[in-house]
């Protein structure tokens, strides 16, 4: 990382609620400048926070916005949506929506922002995945998109490791966010982690902030579960 004194700049998607908002707030508290990307109106008022309205499922719009972002030191893709359905009842439109938001948007953002990080010799990328990437009944389409994110992160991590850029995935278990109350997930209740409570968004944010720090320079290409023990039996 350069020795200049400029404020580090992170781009965080899904910034208006849930995990994305918690990440923005944690980074702001740690002195970062944050550009929050979300189709919903901003919910953060802070001098170092800027809101960018964007429908991440719109590829052309995402490309245009991403190429206009300057001096980005970190990218956190936290925007997500869950649609459920067993075999025989799969919804192709829902599957396409999840692919566009979780995989295609991540690809477009990384393609636009990471090369400049590599040229400067410092950068951090964190994708918010899911423990469900290991597979779960009724969530095959969702799991497939999150597994694809892990594969992309591992591939890109190797590409940019020599340039001081890390790429990691943080995969939460059931988390206390508005997504749990989404009618679209009716019939697919969250599984309580063995620790006896849901994961808090702030716990995920703390891990993401660490991965974005200089101290995490040796951690790359990893999928880190934060699941309260839910993954221990698999």
CB 11 within 8 A of CB 37: yes
What's the residue count for the chain? 234
What are the distances in angstroms from CA 21 to CA 33, 35, 141, 157, 185?
14, 11, 25, 25, 21
The C-alpha atoms of residue 14 and residue 23 are separated, in whole angstroms, by 10
Residue among 112, 142, 150, 209 flagged as catalytic: 142
What are the distances in angstroms from CA 69 to CA 35, 65, 74, 158, 186?
9, 7, 12, 24, 38
Q: Is 142 a catalytic residue?
A: yes
Residue 2: CB partners within 8 Å, gap ≥ 6? Answer: 120, 121, 122
Mind telling me the catalytic residues? 142
């Amino acid at each position: 990382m350069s020795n200049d004194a400029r404020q580090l700049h992170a781009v965080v998607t899904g910034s208006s609620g849930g995990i994305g908002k918690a990440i923005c707030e944690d980074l702001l508290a740690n002195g970062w400048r944050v550009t929050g990307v979300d189709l919903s109106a901003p919910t953060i008022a802070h001098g170092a926070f800027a809101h960018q309205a964007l429908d991440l499922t719109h590829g052309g719009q995402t490309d245009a916005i991403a190429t206009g972002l300057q001096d980005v030191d970190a990218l956190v893709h936290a925007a997500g949506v869950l649609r459920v359905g067993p075999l025989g009842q799969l919804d192709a439109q829902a599957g396409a929506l999840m692919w566009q938001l979780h995989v295609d948007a991540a690809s477009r953002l990384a393609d636009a922002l990471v090369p400049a990080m590599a040229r400067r010799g410092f950068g951090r990328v964190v994708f918010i995945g899911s423990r469900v990437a290991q597979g779960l009944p009724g969530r095959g389409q969702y799991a497939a998109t999150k597994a694809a994110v892990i594969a992309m992160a591992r591939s890109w991590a190797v590409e940019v490791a020599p340039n001081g850029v890390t790429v990691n995935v943080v995969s939460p278990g059931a988390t206390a966010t508005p997504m749990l109350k989404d009618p679209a997930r009716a019939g697919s209740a969250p599984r309580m982690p063995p620790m006896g409570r849901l994961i808090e968004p702030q716990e995920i944010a703390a891990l993401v902030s660490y991965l974005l720090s200089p101290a995490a320079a040796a951690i790359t290409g990893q999928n880190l579960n934060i699941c309260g023990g839910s993954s221990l039996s698999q």
